Structure 1
Amino acid sequence: MKAYNFKKGFVLLTLMVLVFSCTKFEDLTDDPNKATSVPPSQLLSETLSVLNNISNDGPWREPQRDNQFWVISFDYYGDQDYNWGATSYKYSTLSNVIAMEKEAQGLDNQDKYEALAKFFKAYFFDYMSKRVGDIPLSEALQASSEMPITTPKYDDQKSVYTAILDLLDAANDQITTAKSQVGTSDVLGDFFFNGDLDKWQKTINVFHLRVLMSLSKKNSEMDVAGKINAIVSNPSKYPLFEGIQDNMMRRFSDEQGNRYELNPSNYGFNRNRNIMGATYLDLLKANNDPRIYIVADPAPYYFDDNDPLNLNAYIGAKTGDDQGQMQVDSDAGKYSYPNEERYYSSFEGEPYIQIGYSEQEFIIAEAINRGWTSGDAETHYLNGIKGSMKFYGVAQADIDTFLSNTNVIYKGDNPSGLTQILTQKYIAFFNNSGMEAYFNYRRTGVPTFDIGPANKNGGKIPVRWKYPVSEFENNSDNVNAALSSQYGGTDDINAEMWLIK
């Protein structure tokens, strides 16, 4: 019996070896309960989640302090300095975008995903490049290709922006094709616009205008004027936002992870350390702007019940001021805080604009002012102001009064008119659109940013971030070559990149 069992076991073992020797290893290791692919709709949602809260750029976060919209008085919770460190790259998100394209291949309606993928590539390449300068693009995201590249070269910034503009043009064309195939509402996984391709196409084109205007110093090299004119003068091919109802916005709710930054649950935690910034608030005061009563509360020390609308009671703190004295004055009630009723009464707060109608209108007004496209700059300038005021729910009578203010009436297509456009654009950016207020300041010098003892960067507002530390660890030759070609080999936050020279 024992001999028989041994022979039987030997035969079985031999058969097993023969079977497994003919079976691919990956087939042996496949888990039948594990998905081997991810629907493009899920990858779209993951990408939108990153865009929705990219690098904590949202309201009342550190980037909005860098925009000088608000300041923090308690050094325990943060500082006011401009001694910036390294930024982060977004290649992991771009990997999801490429996976979304791959998973959509073969679908009858793959064009809609491919069009959005082109937009996301443009968006994240722009996000990275305008912070540091040259970045990997042509050899990026190829670590898993047939001929893998794990240390991609850095493309010069001009080539990066050439590629970004090409992507945006192609995205607009392809989304037009997608609409002819599936209509306007057929994108699963889209929590921004519920799959509405019309709104996505408008968003892509407004972002295209944003990128083009960021290249204003490179008009002769990049034909910025011609490209802006091509978009603005051809609305049938390049549809744009028609009002604030088209804004690309993040909406908050009473759900963990999606609550507005200021809300009833953290009133006691941060109410007395968030102070309205003087750079922003003083611009509102200068023109008796009705938005001031909506976004800020008067400083208790100066408030008079008999004169509740007295603008002298609205006091912002200067970004450059020493925090020690700021805290003393804050405790004494000498500063304005964010409007308690608006920002602390609910968990929804106000929507956060990623890409908005007012920005679009100010871009077009600037282009007309510069002579880059035809039209009435004043009309677009006023549209931008009115769009912002409607976002805050300002009464029409108050809007009309504000627009009749001598300082607000458009001064014409000249440097004074341009300053008005840029100033109102900054005001409309309050606590939204990430660092766009700063990027516009970096490009134009408008408005004047405050610099003081809290600066800690030699009395300068930096013009870039440092490259990610991981690049020096994993791609040192290429990142150092990029530093040599751009900034003399130093990762200097005060060194000018091609974009702003």
Structure 2
Amino acid sequence: MKKIYSVVFLFIALVTASSCKKEFEDKFKNPNQAEHVPPDLIFTGIINEMYEAPFGGSERWGQYTAANYFYYSTNSYDWTGASLDYPTVKNIVKMEEEANRLGGAVAKPYLALAKFLKAYFFVRMSLKVGDLPMTEAIKGAANLKPKYDLQKDIFKQAMSWLEESNNDLNSLIAAGNTELRGDFYLKNSLPAWQKVVNSFHLRTLLQLSKKVDDADLQLKQQFSAIVSNPTKYPLMQSMADNLQYVYNESANKYPNNKDNLGNDALRFNMAATYLNTLSSLHDPRAYMVAEPAWGIAKENNYVLTDFRNFVGANSGEDQGVMLDKVQKGMYSLIGRYRYYSGYTAENTFIISYPELCFNLAEGINRGWAVGDAESWYKKGIQASMGFYGVKDGNNVVYFAKKEGKAGEYDSFTISFSFENDYYSQAAVKYAGNSMAGLNQILTQKYLAFFRNSGFEAYNQYRRTGVPAFLTGPGTLNSGRIPLRFQYPALDRTTNGDQLNIALQRQYQGVDDINMAPWIVK
């Protein structure tokens, strides 16, 4: 009997304690603090993290611009720990949780796009370092020391997510369920997002071009399936479909603007890899983004519209030498009229129509799909030129800074025919589905990546060697362009054992930026 009383007493005590705990929690709930966050609010924050600002490290490492003043920046490739997106991945998982909690039709668009977003961020991270925690990492606190998935498995999972995302979006759009909120890029349009998903899928497949013979990946088959079935896999069709960041004159100003003209405009100049390619092709985009080197124009008595005035610095040049040449007017500065006369300059692409055109041209050139590579190549060039206001049959209006005159510019008007003035050049006219033609496609894609798409220019260089990047004392790293970033220092302290396993598997146990990850071996 005593034992029974003890059990009853214990039961009552537990119930009472539970009741008290609930009463305590109820009394001390903060009525001003939300217990749940709507998925659309989380979605807004996630897609904001897709944006990679111009005028940062990726721009100089892509050899578009160069820093000539050490106090402000350098052009060195002495890379350390990568910046990874795990906080954003955590928010994607949270968005899925909140969408599932709500359930029903309102949840499905976020669940479909969550698959795309996981693919996007894991691909972006893996391209920087190689193997990464993925399978166990997205389980959150269930495993605080997750194992590192193989880079190959990360890409396979990403492509699976992209396929599933497209299928889910097809079903939602067919059913008329397009209820999306929180989207400041594409006006809450699921059809527009579907084009982005499939365009990114093609980019991801091409990232793996060195693995084309891996039967397990089925790269050609996937590429062909997307290109040959536009009903199932709609793609971007014009510049109106771009996933891009749009600036305004208040909170979201372009990184170069008239407020920082005095700090930046003379401390950074154009890089040779980019600008000298434009000038060698007599490409009017040079007029839009750069200023003529006034020292060269004076010395040679060139008119300011002469492409020989548009000269960039070797990114590997010693900064002291570079600065001296800039002050003597021997290198072109960043176009001050375009980038420093206001606050909005130009949109920044994340995934764009010009890139898609060149990706289609590249895939067809490689024999991954049936189609007209030259047509897509030309569309890509014209779309990129049009972005800068250079359009076939129209006059090109060009502004050059007046020497010694603050805020004053000379303007020039130049007639432009795409076929006669540009495409007829042997260096531009498509050389057919050959290696020469492929190099032309890759060169034009690189030109179209100027100031947008994050690390895509570097990723292309690492994958293809096009264009040839320049090195020297200013780039450090013993004259080498690195092949990856190091893992973040936090990985060593929080998950060192698993990191060491991944390093041993990939890089002979050394976190060396000059050792190639699987994707480019």
TM over 0.5: yes
| Offset at residue 89 of structure 1 (A) | 2.1
Match of 2:154 in 1: 160
Whether 1:45 and 2:44 are equivalent positions in the alignment is yes
Instruction: Provide the rounded CA distance (Å) in 1 between the counterparts of 2:129 and 2:304.
Output: 46
Segment drifting more, 485-494 vs 335-344: 335-344
Whether 1:120 and 2:140 are equivalent positions in the alignment is no
Alignment of 1:5-84 (within 5 A): 22-25=19-22, 26-27=25-26, 29-52=28-51, 57-84=52-79
Whether 1:445 and 2:442 are equivalent positions in the alignment is no
Match of 2:236 among 238, 241, 258: 241
CA separation of 1:21 and 1:389: change in aligned 2, threshold 3 A? closer
Match of 1:313 in 2: 309
| Offset at residue 61 of structure 1 (A) | 1.4
Alignment of 1:309-348 (within 5 A): 309-348=305-344
Kept in 1, the 8 Å contact 2:382–2:391? The answer is no
Q: Which amino acid aligns with 1:291?
A: R
Match of 1:268 in 2: 262
Match of 2:282 in 1: 288
| Offset at residue 183 of structure 1 (A) | 4.8
Q: Percent identity?
A: 41
Kept in 1, the 8 Å contact 2:280–2:307? The answer is no
Alignment of 1:56-205 (within 5 A): 57-105=52-100, 106-144=103-141, 148-184=142-178, 186-205=179-198
TM-score, length of structure 1 as denominator length: 0.92
| Offset at residue 308 of structure 1 (A) | 2.2
Instruction: Provide the rounded CA distance (Å) in 1 between the counterparts of 2:283 and 2:454.
Output: 23
Q: 1:253-283 CA deviation, whole Å, 9 max, x = no partner?
A: 1123x11011111111111011011000111
Kept in 1, the 8 Å contact 2:291–2:334? The answer is yes
Instruction: Provide the rounded CA distance (Å) in 2 between the counterparts of 1:212 and 1:490.
Output: 28
Instruction: Provide the rounded CA distance (Å) in 2 between the counterparts of 1:33 and 1:19.
Output: 29
Segment drifting more, 233-242 vs 171-180: 171-180
Kept in 1, the 8 Å contact 2:302–2:309? The answer is no
Match of 2:444 in 1: 424
Instruction: Provide the rounded CA distance (Å) in 2 between the counterparts of 1:100 and 1:302.
Output: 56
Q: 1:362-381 CA deviation, whole Å, 9 max, x = no partner?
A: 11111111111101111111
| Offset at residue 176 of structure 1 (A) | 1.2
Secondary structure of the structure 2 residue equivalent to 1:143: helix
Kept in 2, the 8 Å contact 1:109–1:182? The answer is no
| Offset at residue 331 of structure 1 (A) | 1.4
| Offset at residue 24 of structure 1 (A) | 3.0
Q: 1:86-106 CA deviation, whole Å, 9 max, x = no partner?
A: 002211111111111111121
Kept in 1, the 8 Å contact 2:348–2:452? The answer is yes
Secondary structure of the structure 2 residue equivalent to 1:51: coil
| Offset at residue 32 of structure 1 (A) | 2.9
Q: Which amino acid aligns with 1:381?
A: Y
Instruction: Provide the rounded CA distance (Å) in 1 between the counterparts of 2:336 and 2:177.
Output: 44
Kept in 1, the 8 Å contact 2:279–2:311? The answer is no
Q: Which amino acid aligns with 2:60?
A: R
Match of 2:345 in 1: 349
Q: 1:102-130 CA deviation, whole Å, 9 max, x = no partner?
A: 11121323221111100110011001111
Secondary structure of the structure 2 residue equivalent to 1:475: helix
Q: Which amino acid aligns with 2:243?
A: M
Secondary structure of the structure 1 residue equivalent to 2:131: coil
Q: 1:328-387 CA deviation, whole Å, 9 max, x = no partner?
A: 111122211111111111101100011011111111111111111101111111111011
Extract unaligned runs of 5+ from structure 1: 1-16
Instruction: Provide the rounded CA distance (Å) in 2 between the counterparts of 1:344 and 1:32.
Output: 47
Q: Which amino acid aligns with 2:494?
A: N
Kept in 1, the 8 Å contact 2:471–2:479? The answer is yes
| Offset at residue 294 of structure 1 (A) | 0.8
CA separation of 1:306 and 1:275: change in aligned 2, threshold 3 A? closer
Instruction: Provide the rounded CA distance (Å) in 1 between the counterparts of 2:83 and 2:290.
Output: 33
Extract unaligned runs of 5+ from structure 2: 1-13, 394-415
Segment drifting more, 102-111 vs 58-67: 102-111
Q: 1:137-165 CA deviation, whole Å, 9 max, x = no partner?
A: 11013233xxx211100111111111000
Secondary structure of the structure 2 residue equivalent to 1:265: coil
Q: 1:14-47 CA deviation, whole Å, 9 max, x = no partner?
A: xxx9966623354454323321100011000110
Instruction: Provide the rounded CA distance (Å) in 1 between the counterparts of 2:173 and 2:20.
Output: 46
CA separation of 1:157 and 1:21: change in aligned 2, threshold 3 A? closer
Q: Which amino acid aligns with 2:440?
A: Q
Q: Which amino acid aligns with 1:133?
A: G
Instruction: Provide the rounded CA distance (Å) in 1 between the counterparts of 2:225 and 2:17.
Output: 63
Kept in 2, the 8 Å contact 1:451–1:461? The answer is yes
Q: Which amino acid aligns with 2:337?
A: E
Aligned residues: 477
Q: Which amino acid aligns with 2:502?
A: A
Q: 1:416-448 CA deviation, whole Å, 9 max, x = no partner?
A: 001101000100111100010010010000000
| Offset at residue 60 of structure 1 (A) | 1.5
CA separation of 1:149 and 1:306: change in aligned 2, threshold 3 A? closer
Q: Which amino acid aligns with 1:245?
A: A
Instruction: Provide the rounded CA distance (Å) in 1 between the counterparts of 2:302 and 2:89.
Output: 57
Match of 2:405 in 1: none
Instruction: Provide the rounded CA distance (Å) in 2 between the counterparts of 1:430 and 1:33.
Output: 46
Q: Which amino acid aligns with 1:273?
A: R
Instruction: Provide the rounded CA distance (Å) in 2 between the counterparts of 1:326 and 1:367.
Output: 39
Instruction: Provide the rounded CA distance (Å) in 2 between the counterparts of 1:248 and 1:18.
Output: 55
Match of 1:412 in 2: 432
Segment drifting more, 331-340 vs 317-326: 331-340
Match of 1:8 in 2: none
Secondary structure of the structure 2 residue equivalent to 1:302: helix
Whether 1:383 and 2:382 are equivalent positions in the alignment is no
Secondary structure of the structure 1 residue equivalent to 2:350: strand
Q: Which amino acid aligns with 1:370?
A: R
Match of 2:397 in 1: none
Instruction: Provide the rounded CA distance (Å) in 2 between the counterparts of 1:325 and 1:341.
Output: 26
Match of 1:301 in 2: 295
| Offset at residue 455 of structure 1 (A) | 2.1
Secondary structure of the structure 2 residue equivalent to 1:236: coil
Kept in 1, the 8 Å contact 2:105–2:177? The answer is no
TM-score, length of structure 2 as denominator length: 0.89
Match of 2:406 in 1: none
Instruction: Provide the rounded CA distance (Å) in 1 between the counterparts of 2:388 and 2:443.
Output: 18
Instruction: Provide the rounded CA distance (Å) in 1 between the counterparts of 2:384 and 2:165.
Output: 28
| Offset at residue 181 of structure 1 (A) | 3.4
Q: How well do the aligned residues superpose, as a CA RMSD in angstroms?
A: 1.7
Kept in 1, the 8 Å contact 2:293–2:331? The answer is yes
Secondary structure of the structure 2 residue equivalent to 1:130: helix
